[in-house]
Structure 1
Amino acid sequence: MPLDVGVYESRADYKSQKQCQKTSFAFYQAVRDLLPVWLLEDMRTMEVFHWEDDGQACAFSPSEAFLYALVHDHQQYARYLLKCFSSRALDMPSRSFCCCQASSTPHLTLAVRYNRISILKMIMDTIKELPECERRSFLDRHGCVHTDGRKTALHLACDLLRPECLILLLAHGACPYATDLTGNTPLDCLLLQISQSDFDSRTKRICLGYLILFMPSLRFQMKGQLQEKRDVWRRMIGDQAFQWLSGASPPSLFVQAMQRLSQSIPTEQLDSLPDFLKPLDFRLQQA
């Protein structure tokens, strides 16, 4: 919900802002309670407002409403907003909602953070209609420096171990070589997660397998660490994954074939593959 800036020129301004806060919270509650789409749109377009930093009371934009739908997993409302407003529902919200206006992609990072797989699929279907350069720019933008450390959605999927989000982003063109403020690629983030503990090691290995499928070349910071501590990393990620990531040997023909296959068919068709070719099974074998 927009922040209270606490600056008023008159008692009327104070009352106006307090009223905006009430209606803003009412809209937040309505989305949280999964009220019908028609009612939410009536509220958004006619009844509820939020307070901007310049002292203006503004109606919620489709983009701002979509953020609320994401947070509360209101899939019907999210589908309606994307259908009626298309990519406009993914525009940057106002500064009251996100302070990093230049390059942030709050919808993608929120979808990953809250693990909203169904809504993330809707977003991917929507951006298919964008020109390729715009689609890639949207996928690879950095998140808010205050909440996401200026990481891309792909970095966040690795940090939070979201394999379903990871494969959706990769299959739709997110760059596996993008770097965050520290110069880490998504693979570096995932290797750091693997090195820190054995907790949820199966999910970590699945994520590693997904990244391998979409990385035809090796460009990441931790390659030197893998070479220095061979025995430790071989135990953590498995011999075959270690051999390739450390540069000791090229990926197997099977891995190369799976790389080509995964990049040439739609993500939703991966489940139709025979069991021995499914990416999940492959990742458990290789990691």
Structure 2
Amino acid sequence: TLTDPSRRQAGSNQGPLELRSRHCKFLSYMFYQAVRDHKPVWMLEDMRTMEYFYWEENASLRTYSPSEALLYAVVHNHLPYAQYLLSHFPEEALQVPGEHFCYCPSSAPHLAMAVTYDRRDILGLIIKIAHKLPSLNSYINRTGCFHLEDGKTPLHLACELLRSETVLILLGNGASPRIKDSKGLTPLDVILEQMWDSKVNVASKKLCLDYLLLFMPSPQFKMRKILQDHPDHWTALLGEDKFNSLVGNTPTSLYLQAMQTILQSLPPSHFPKSIQELPIPQDLMGHGD
């Protein structure tokens, strides 16, 4: 299935260039399959640096970049290979892949992919490298393509997918809950919209909401008007204190204010170790290592 059937039938009549093209296309597929099958790192690196042709016609001979290889490692959860690529090629591995991958130059596709596929171990490795490189100072807050991905940050994606542990990991490592996507929605809006639209997974939604509020003093969000217009619904869903705080009827609780102050003082590069040493409720500790 790797080549056109008519070409397979006429294989005996193909010239050396076309045969080499087919062979290189096969090698490119073999590399993808090898990452998927979690082959050893040394084997993957040998395959990655082999020259191959892209699937498109008239493409030039080339090799896979560390960035492209890391995308495959994230998708297929090949942790040892991700570790190797990030430790040996930290800046190259986190570059936006080439023109044959549809990503905006200012996006963070590896981080977004790790959130989407729930690869928290690889997510942690990526964030750790980003903290060390000045060129990736704002990496965790990069937005996706405004045309294809609605300008979502990785935090937007984590909230959309209700990955509460990932939400906390991102927030603790410097992800801003105030950035808006192309629709003007903050991550808090994303959660509130889901709570408004459906009663499914309410516990996960509430946990994501609580984590966001821990890192968001004086929250500003687009859904405030809907909360104000339907007080009974939201009071029953959130509780009276949280509802009144969100719509601005009352200040946030002293406990939440104290936690916000403490968390703001923690250096993101030491998260989650720094939060594990705080005397906070156990449910805030279940964010993974």
Give the TM-score band, short-chain normalised.
0.7 to 0.9
**Partner residue in 1 for 2:131:** 128
**For residues 83-102 of structure 1, what are the structure 2 equivalents within 5 Å?**
83-97=87-101, 99-102=102-105
Is the Cα–Cα contact under 8 Å of residues 17 and 51 in structure 1 kept in the other structure?
A: no
Within the candidate set 106, 111, 116, 1:108 is matched to: 111
Q: Per-residue deviation at 1:199?
A: 1.1
Which whole-Å CA distance do the structure 1 matches of 2:239 and 2:91 have between them? 42
3-state secondary structure, aligned to 1:96: coil
Task: Report the TM-score when normalising by structure 1.
Answer: 0.85
Which whole-Å CA distance do the structure 2 matches of 1:13 and 1:141 have between them? 42
Is the Cα–Cα contact under 8 Å of residues 21 and 53 in structure 2 kept in the other structure?
A: no
**For residues 1-287 of structure 1, what are the structure 2 equivalents within 5 Å?**
15=19, 17-46=21-50, 50-51=54-55, 55-97=59-101, 99-131=102-134, 134-136=136-138, 138-145=139-146, 148-265=149-266, 266-269=270-273, 270-274=275-279, 276=281, 279=284
Is the Cα–Cα contact under 8 Å of residues 73 and 81 in structure 2 kept in the other structure?
A: yes
Is the Cα–Cα contact under 8 Å of residues 172 and 272 in structure 2 kept in the other structure?
A: no
Please tell me the root mean square deviation across aligned C-alpha atoms, in Å.
2.5
User: Structure 2 vs 1, CA of residues 245 and 161 (structure 1 numbering), >3 Å: closer, same or farther?
Assistant: same
User: Structure 2 vs 1, CA of residues 276 and 151 (structure 1 numbering), >3 Å: closer, same or farther?
Assistant: closer
3-state secondary structure, aligned to 1:128: helix
Which whole-Å CA distance do the structure 2 matches of 1:178 and 1:199 have between them? 26
Q: Unmatched 5+ residue regions in structure 2?
A: 5-13
Taking only the aligned residue pairs, the percentage that are identical comes to: 44
Q: Per-residue deviation at 1:130?
A: 2.3
Query: How many residues matched?
Result: 270
3-state secondary structure, aligned to 2:248: coil
Q: Per-residue deviation at 1:14?
A: 5.5
* Residues 155-197 of structure 1 deviation map (CA, whole Å, 9 limit, x = unaligned): 1111110112211211111111111111111111111111111
Which whole-Å CA distance do the structure 2 matches of 1:268 and 1:32 have between them? 30
3-state secondary structure, aligned to 2:236: helix
**Partner residue in 2 for 1:7:** none
Which whole-Å CA distance do the structure 2 matches of 1:179 and 1:102 have between them? 19
Q: Unmatched 5+ residue regions in structure 1?
A: 5-9, 282-287
Q: Per-residue deviation at 1:109?
A: 1.0
